[in-house]
Amino acid sequence: MKTARLFLCLVVFAVTVPETAATAEELVHFESVPVKLSPFRIRKARELGETLPQPQGTPLLGYLSRPEGDGPFPAIVVMHGCDHLRSSVRELWPKRLVRWGYVVLVVDSFTTRNLADPCRSLLPVRAFDAYGALDFLSKSGFVDPQRVALMGFAAGGTATLDATKIEGYEQLMERKFRAAIAYYPACDADRGDPTVPTLIMTGERDNWSRAERCQKRLARLSDNAPPVELNVYKGVYHNFDAPEFMVGRRVLGHIEKYDPDAAAKSMRSVYAFLRKYLAN
């Protein structure tokens, strides 16, 4: 029998959050994981006597923040949305996560690709960016590679779900994420089971990342799926955790508006989720 996976976040509960000193943010350079050639393409090249180029990753930028000390620390890879590096993703969330004791790497997927208006165009397959960031952190010496979570917002949340779905890109990767957090992603009912415990949060009135699509996906999960928690915040719109949208705005026909109550509830959920799955 399936366990209940849908939670309507209506109750505020207290969490004591520790404060941890942080070092200065650092701009870092790394590459996405190269897209591997298929066995069929390799075989055909051999038959035709072709020399195939070695797959290359895409050069990327990232913003690294970390607690003071040698570690090894648990870590979070953060994926931005199509609106790129807004202040809540670029600054507020990293500072918050570092205070909680996590190394944070915010991946910049757009600058090196010269993407000017990605909200109106086709986005790259960003799962490879996420795993490139995981590889970078795993080699740092101050991160525990067995305790790294992937966290994304909007289109970054969708990339997070894509990167951690069964029979998806994860099966091509040597290193794996431990858990996944997706803020208002575009859920796909046919995406399949996740490979890791997953926390999904969205607003009831979000017509960009509709809650009912996430509910349908959860309804189709197998009994053997890792734990998935879906928090739907009543009366809340897209980007509800971002204070820069305090006034609210309409973008491409969708409302983006900060909701302090839902934001606080979601932060407590993230804190508890990370404590549960990255503690050891």
The full set of domains in the chain, from first to last, is 6-278 (3.40.50.1820)
Report yes or no: 55 and 35 within 8 Å, Cβ to Cβ.
yes
Q: What is the pLDDT of residue 245?
A: 77
Report yes or no: 135 and 97 within 8 Å, Cβ to Cβ.
no
The overall pTM is greater than 0.95 = no
The angle subtended at Cα 275 by Cα 271 and Cα 130, nearest 5°, is 80
The values of phi and psi at residue 162, to 5°, are: -65, -35
Nearest to 38 by CA among 50, 55, 59, 56: 55
Cis-peptide, bond into residue 72, ω within 30° of zero: yes
Low-confidence ranges of the chain (pLDDT < 70): 1-24, 36-55, 121-122, 248, 252
Helix (H, G, I), strand (E, B) or coil at 175: coil
Q: What is the pLDDT of residue 227?
A: 96
Q: What is the pLDDT of residue 15?
A: 44
The angle subtended at Cα 116 by Cα 112 and Cα 118, nearest 5°, is 95
The per-residue pLDDT for range 75-107, each reduced to its tens digit, is: 999 999 888 888 899 999 999 999 999 999 999
Q: What does the CA dihedral 146, 239, 87, 140 come to, rounded to 10 degrees?
A: 10
Q: What is the pLDDT of residue 92?
A: 95
Q: What is the pLDDT of residue 247?
A: 76
The per-residue pLDDT for range 41-86, each reduced to its tens digit, is: 455 556 566 555 566 789 999 999 999 999 899 999 999 988 888 8
Q: What is the pLDDT of residue 51?
A: 59
